[in-house]
Chain A
Amino acid sequence: MPNSRKAFLKGAAHALPFFVVIVPFAMLFGVLSSEAGLGPWETQVFSIAVFAGASQLAALQLMQDQAPLLVILATGIAVNLRMMMYSVALTPHLGAAPLGIRATIAYFLVDQSFALSLAEFDKRAELTLAEKIAYFFGTIAPITAIWNIATAVGVQMGRAVPESWGLDFAMPITFIGMTAAMLRTVPHGVAMAVSVGVTLLLWAMPYGTGLLVGAAAGMAAGAIAEAWGEKS
């Protein structure tokens, strides 16, 4: 199937430049989990089981802070809820694939593979199902390899990183940078401001529960702001 092979290679070529995002992020996770006392295998299993960097970093910090288990899980899941949108958006393109293929695609549905695939499928309506599947797996091949290798390198560096580097602030910078780059519309800004404001106000609440209330309030505020914007 030369066409599928072509689509696979094209997906891989499109995904390769994302190494500039994936390498530092995966290494940061490796370094921080090693500093938190997780062993190399524990870190790698964590990364393979969840395969969603932001939620892994969030869960890692909450575990270090000795937050209650339910708060850790709820926060990690909340960070990943956006992927339900990815699943919705790819269903018209890949929903006709056999169950085994769809189940495999689901595991590899990360930010980059989703964004690249949807853009390609929308741009080229003539692609067959087999070519779409091949393209998706093409994007995921370099992403998965780079993610896991960079995580392992970060783990190896972990204990060698001195405290004076101030790595405690690497995660805030990463999350704030990710968010700021996503602030494309007014409702995005409203969601962020309400969530941060409510979380800070509720800081005295037992650990982490203020965050969940704040995040829920922020999501609701974003949705309401969007509805208002459409009416006016």
Chain B
Amino acid sequence: MIDRTTFWTVVVVLGAATYLIRFSFLGILGNRPLPLWLVRALRYTAVAVLPALVAPAVLWPPATGGEPDPVRLATVAVTVLAGIFSRNMIAAITAGGLTFYLAPQILSGL
């Protein structure tokens, strides 16, 4: 169960912080140049945060009691390969989803 005080704090603070990030240069800072190191680091925020957030659940899924699961590992491998080769997020997610549902049936049919 999600604690409601935590939830509403997250809604207000994350909402305000996200707005300030979007407003920052457009609204206040204008055409000021950013330091090069900051430009570089900002470029990699999404690829650093998103996969790390889910990596533990891939290796040690709560749904299997923390045991590594061949279906989930195969799903991730297919998703990554499809994404790299297609450069298309929807194609990657679709390929991963199909693997996740079809792999158990293929494995049990062997």
A interface, CB within 8 angstroms of B: 20-21, 24, 36-38, 42, 45-46, 49-52, 54-55, 58-59, 61, 63-64, 66, 69, 72-73, 75-88, 90-92, 94-95, 99, 102-103, 105-107, 109, 166, 168-184, 187-188, 191-192, 194-196, 198-200, 203, 211, 214-216, 218-223, 226-227
**Minimum C-beta distance from A174 to chain B (A):** 6
Q: Give Cα A173–Cα B2 distance, bound, in whole angstroms.
A: 23
The reply to whether A176 and B22 form a contact with Cβ atoms under 8 Å apart is no
Q: Main SS of the interface on chain A?
A: helix
Instruction: Say whether B107 faces chain A, with CB atoms less than 8 Å apart.
Output: no
Instruction: Say whether B53 faces chain A, with CB atoms less than 8 Å apart.
Output: yes
Given contacts A50-B18, A79-B45, A178-B46, contact A173 B79 (CB under 8 A): yes
The reply to whether B2 and A58 form a contact with Cβ atoms under 8 Å apart is no
B interface, CB within 8 angstroms of A: 1-3, 6-7, 9-15, 17-19, 21-27, 29-31, 34, 37, 39-59, 61-63, 72, 75-76, 79-84, 86-93, 96-97, 100-101
Given contacts A95-B30, A192-B51, contact A176 B25 (CB under 8 A): no
Q: Give Cα A188–Cα B75 distance, bound, in whole angstroms.
A: 21
Measured between beta carbons, the chain B residues less than 8 angstroms from A170 are: 97
What are 11 inter-chain pairs, A to B, with CB distance below 8 A? A50-B15, A83-B18, A90-B26, A91-B30, A173-B75, A176-B83, A194-B48, A198-B52, A200-B56, A216-B48, A222-B40
